[in-house]
Structure 1
Amino acid sequence: MTVRIPDAVRLTGISRSTLYVLIRDQRIETVKVGRSRYIVVASLQRFIDANRM
């Protein structure tokens, strides 16, 4: 299951620029299909779970 970056921003409240940093640092997994990049939901969930307080 994947979501586009704007959807991940809405779902998580994480800013777009922060998401791009997390993607660049390979802390969140993405899949590229054609020219579009999608965030793997399980990867996003693992990141959120690991950073809960």
Structure 2
Amino acid sequence: MSIASVEVVPLAKTGGLPPVFLTVEEAARCLRVGRTTCFGLIRTGELESLMIGGLRRVPADAPAAYLARRRAEQRAA
């Protein structure tokens, strides 16, 4: 199962649509890291995020993209 297919919010709450954005806490759960580590990845630019109003949100596909980059880096090393 890929990270992109992890259901973070029950589909009934989103009207049957998958989430477009994740909270930082949801992204951290997808990556199986802590909230502080997730904020560190965001701060260094390794994990994509945006501000929407005053809220920090992570695009739903960003955790999978981060993992793909890390895997490629490790294969190249």
User: Corresponding residue for 1:7?
Assistant: 26
Letter in structure 1 aligned against 2:38 = L
Q: Greater relative contact order: 1 or 2 (C-alpha under 8 angstroms, separation 6 or more)?
A: 1
Structure 2 unmatched runs, 5+: 1-19
2:60 to 23, 27, 41: 41
Whole-angstrom distance in 1 between the partners of 2:48 and 2:21: 10
Aligned-residue RMSD, C-alpha: 1.6
State the TM-score, normalized to the length of structure 1.
Answer: 0.78
Whole-angstrom distance in 2 between the partners of 1:41 and 1:33: 14
Q: Percent identity?
A: 21
Whole-angstrom distance in 2 between the partners of 1:10 and 1:43: 13
Structure 1 unmatched runs, 5+: none
- Structure showing greater Rg: 2
How many residues are aligned here? 53
Q: Which is strand-richer, 1 or 2?
A: 1
State the TM-score, normalized to the length of structure 2.
Answer: 0.58
